[in-house]
Amino acid sequence: MIEDRPLISIVMPIYNEEGILLSAVHDLLMRLPALDRPFELILAENGSTDNTAVIAAELAAKYSEVTTFSVGEPNYGLALRRGIECAKGQYVICDEVDICDVNFYWRALELLEKGDADLVVGSKAMPGSNDRRPMSRRAGTFVINRLLNVLLDFHGTDTHGLKAFSREKLLFVVQACVVEQDLFASEFVIRAGRSNAKVVEIPVNIVEKRPPSVDLVRRLPAVAKGLSRLFVAIRLGR
């Protein structure tokens, strides 16, 4: 039975994932009890054109720990943000359906619970990491990170993907973010780093359960727009 307030909220944006959603969630639900902490799993859907929303609703009906919502058009950042805002847990873990890395949860929770971090970022690009995605995706991550380093004075090695944080300490950062789509996750990490929060990167092993669902090239206009908006907001303060 779910407790009134879970300790951990796992927020997972989902979009056109009918191929792996059911098996990924079942697999995750089998492994989560080992954490020995009450949890909730929030499936944040928007704009899917396949059966993703229906499967998510069925999972929510079947498992008391699972909830789901759908918000309008495809928008990764908006889904993540809404999920974080409605999370009930003290700690929020952001994961992706093609990753579901419980090993990251363990390591991140240890840092959060000891007070050694307010935000733990799973880095695919720091020493010790092992990113087994296709070369084009790794190149994309490299280019985005260099742009964030140069344009936004970001000092870390990755912003997208696995994250865990104290909701109480970082909700104000989420609410200060101005971009949606893919760059929301980057803005969140960068703004957290510019606040007083303790941000710690840890290396992760990435093996995706399927190839990326959104074409890299089709994402470029939204990423370029988000980067210029972020430059104005963060560097020029407007």
Ligand X SMILES: Nc1nc2c(ncn2[C@@H]2O[C@H](COP(=O)(O)OP(=O)(O)OP(=O)(O)O)[C@@H](O)[C@H]2O)c(=O)[nH]1
Per residue in 109-139, is it b (16+ CB within 10 Å) or e — as a string?
Answer: bebbeeeebbbbbbbbbeeebebebeeebee
CB contact at 8 A, 76 and 13: yes
Would you count residue 13 as binding ligand X (CB under 6 A)? Answer: yes
Strands 199-203 and 119-123: parallel
Distance, in Å, from the CA atom of 231 to the CA atom of 172, rounded to the nearest integer, reads 20
Q: Are 201 and 168 spatial neighbours (Cβ–Cβ below 8 Å)?
A: no
Report the half-sphere exposure of 135 (CA within 13 A, side-chain side): 0
Cα 77 from Cα 191, distance rounded (Å): 15
* Residue 66 sits in the site that holds ligand X (CB under 6 A): no
Name the segment binding ligand X (CB under 6 A); options: 96-104, 107-115, 169-177, 195-203: 96-104
d(CA 6, CA 13): 19
Choices 68-76, 86-94, 203-211, 219-227 (CB under 5 A): range interacting with Mg ion: 203-211
Q: How far is the CB of 80 from Mg ion (least distance, A)?
A: 14
* Min dist. Cβ of residue 75 to Mg ion (A): 16
Compute the distance between CA of residue 219 and CA of residue 191 in angstroms, rounded to an integer.
Answer: 22
Selection from ligand X, Mg ion, none that 214 binds (CB < 5 to 8 A by kind) is ligand X
User: What gap in Å lies between CA 212 and CA 193, rounded to an integer?
Assistant: 28
Of 95, 98, 118, 180, the one binding Mg ion (CB under 5 A) is 98
CB of 96 to Mg ion, least distance (A): 5
Q: Which stretch binds ligand X (CB under 6 A): 100-108, 115-123, 212-220, 229-237?
A: 212-220
Of the pair 14, 170, the CB lying nearest Mg ion is at 14
When asked if residue 17 is in the footprint of ligand X (CB under 6 A), the reply is: yes
101 lines the binding site for ligand X (CB under 6 A): no
CB of 74 to ligand X, least distance (A): 3
Site for Mg ion, rule CB under 5 A: 98, 208, 212
**Site residues, ligand X (CB under 6 A):** 12-15, 17, 44-47, 74-76, 79, 96-98, 137, 160-161, 212-214
